[in-house]
């Protein structure tokens, strides 16, 4: 017998480009630049390959950051909606959780595999509700069923 579990409350959360994430990506990239600079006295094909990889990684990071969706992620108690208001295929998947910052992946809704960087600072009052909604289950089986091992 399946009993509906009380769902997480409805929530709307702003999504956009994060300056904090931009600084993190820049820090990582600059760490690579410093590593190459340290190896400069010994230029070789390895140094040239490292430079090319570093340039591509930097371009990829800029592309990722500039293409981040902007708008609002919402949960109405039944369905997740993407930043452009389209219905998502299921709940966003939390890929990284740093308590006050999260990286989630949203499937469907015209954004196959869209990545969203969410920060508590974007809307501190809705942050806890968003976290509850992301981690809530909409249904569960008989008591204890989620802990059974086969």
CB contact at 8 A, 111 and 80: no
Short-list 67, 93, 98, 73, CA closest to 15: 73
Predicted TM-score (pTM) of this structure = 0.71
Task: Give pLDDT tens digits along the chain (150 positions).
Answer: 333 345 678 999 999 899 999 999 999 999 988 888 887 767 788 788 888 999 999 999 999 999 888 999 999 988 898 888 788 888 889 999 999 999 999 887 566 678 899 999 999 999 999 999 999 864 433 333 333 333
Q: DSSP string of 102-148?
A: EEEEE-BTT-TTEEEEEEGGG-TTTHHHHHHHHH--SEE-STTGGG-
């Amino acid at each position: 017998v399946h009993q509906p579990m009380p769902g997480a409350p409805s929530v709307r959360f702003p999504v956009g480009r994060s300056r904090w994430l931009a600084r993190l990506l820049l820090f990582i990239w600059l760490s690579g630049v410093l590593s190459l600079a340290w190896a400069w006295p010994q230029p070789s094909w390895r140094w040239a390959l490292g430079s090319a990889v570093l340039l591509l990684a930097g371009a990829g990071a800029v592309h990722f950051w500039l293409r981040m969706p902007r708008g609002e992620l919402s949960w109405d108690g039944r369905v997740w909606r993407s930043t452009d208001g389209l219905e998502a295929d299921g709940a966003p998947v939390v890929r990284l959780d740093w308590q006050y910052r999260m990286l989630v992946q949203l499937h469907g809704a015209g954004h196959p595999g869209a990545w969203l960087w969410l920060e508590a600072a974007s809307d501190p009052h809705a942050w806890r509700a968003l976290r509850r909604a992301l981690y809530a289950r909409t249904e569960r089986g008989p008591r204890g069923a989620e802990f059974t091992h086969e």
